[in-house]
Amino acid sequence: MRVFGKQMNVVAGIEHESVTITDPWVKKQMNEIQQVKTAYLQSEADERIAAAMRRKADPYQAPISIGTDVMYYRDGQKNHKGWHGPGKVIDR
């Protein structure tokens, strides 16, 4: 991902009700920053779900319903080997 230019130096959470932004240019910039952050987070979530769906799974055939918290074991990756979780079941 490439980013050109420089982000404005703004305090996070400036949307607080006691702060009023009157400059339309600053309002526009803050709105655009918020839209970009939201789009980025949605993109990251979509990529992670897609990657999880591509992985080969050998699920234990227990009566587990969607939304259940589960622990899972990963084998074969040096720094990710072992038990992980909890994770939510999103598909069966």
50, 63: one domain = no
9-50 confidence digits (pLDDT tens): 555 555 555 567 788 888 888 889 899 999 999 999 999 988
**Shared domain check, 48 and 37:** yes
Judge if 16 and 48 occupy the same domain.
yes
Q: How far apart are CA 60 and CA 42, in angstroms?
A: 30
- Structural domain of 64: 58-92
Instruction: Quote the pTM value.
Output: 0.44
Note the pLDDT tens digit of each residue in 43-81: 999 999 888 888 776 666 777 888 989 888 887 667 778
Given pLDDT bands bounded at 50, 70 and 90, which one contains residue 3?
A: low
Give me the phi and psi of 14, to 5 degrees please.
-75, -5
Residue that is written with structure tokens 């970009």 in the block: 36
Q: What does the buried/exposed string (b/e) look like for 13-48 if buried means 16 or more CB atoms within 10 Å of the residue's CB?
A: eeeeeeeeeeeeeeeeebeeeeeeeeeeeeeeeeee
